[in-house]
Amino acid sequence: MGEPAFRAKQVYQWLWQKSAISFGEMTNLSKDTRAKLENGFEISPVTISEMQISGDRTIKCAMKLQDNKIVESVLIPTDTRMTVCISSQVGCSLTCKFCATGRLKRLRNLTAGEIYDQVALVKKLSEEKYGQPLTNIVYMGMGEPLLNYKEVINSVNHITSQNGLGMAAKRITVSTAGVAKMIQALGDDDVKFNLALSLHAADDEKRNHIMPINETNTLDNLADAMNYYYNKTGNKVTFEYIAFKDFNDSLQDAKDLAKFCARVPSKVNIIEYNPIDDGEFQQTTPERLNTFFRYLADKGVVVNVRRSRGKDIDAACGQLANKNKVASPILKA
């Protein structure tokens, strides 16, 4: 365009650091330069088409993409942090039995820009609604992040870059249902963010039943991949374990989990289950959960129980499914 080279850096900073959604916002560019950009390029931002606010202050956002497809993002406030749960695909191909998103078809991967936009929008929402900055990011929304590897990594780079949002990689967690070869790829790329594995059973037969991906990515395969990742990065893996009533919450299940934890440098987050429509699983009882927890803790496993947030608006773990594809802004309190 015949512009000086430093203009490129300015435009880049407006897009990725200041999250500009129009060339008109780029006020340190001349009017002529902005006009040239308007004529030659377009910015295609993600927009919030609907918000629902839970009684616990959790906010679920329906994010409208440029092709009018919808994904969901969730702002999860606590006393110590403000976390956004973001999506990486439109739908999902993995058909995990306990997850509402798994009932949707995978329509396409999100671009790095679409993933970034979710963070930028919820960051602004957190500041405006609650007066607090966004502190943490979890790739635990719709889709399997490691089946969109390139764009997920690219999005993390923009989010953590000093010319981007400048967030710390240690404040980011990518969650996978278990794609062994891509977990190894994370090790080869020496990623700095955290890795979580949606485990939910430390027995291949049980895990096959609820997560078909386990048929081709067995627990042995995953243990090898996670140890490779740990040896490359030095980062322990977090095992996410939803406790289902009378399925994976027995003392024997706790023993199996403790043995698996001994194979991989790790810690465990036990998550309470949020039933989905017509689901075959139910939430375990407090008594069984406590027995399960105590066994792991007594065996030296680093274990926490995570209480789900936003259940009243279908924003909790496993509930994202785009029930309402609304195009106009609606705020439900």
Query: Catalytic site residues?
Result: 72, 317
The DSSP element (H or E) to which 196 belongs, if any, is: strand 194-198
DSSP character string of 40-108: H------EEEEEEE-TTS-EEEEEEPTTS-EEEEEEEE-SS-EEEE--SEES-SS--TT-SGGGS---E
Contact 194, 236 (CB under 8 A): no
SS3 at position 173: strand
Q: Calculate the dihedral angle through the C-alpha atoms of 242, 192, 154, 125, rounding to the nearest 10 degrees.
A: 60
Nearest Cα to 142, choosing from 196, 96, 81?
96
What is the rounded CA–CA span in Å between residue 284 and residue 247? 9
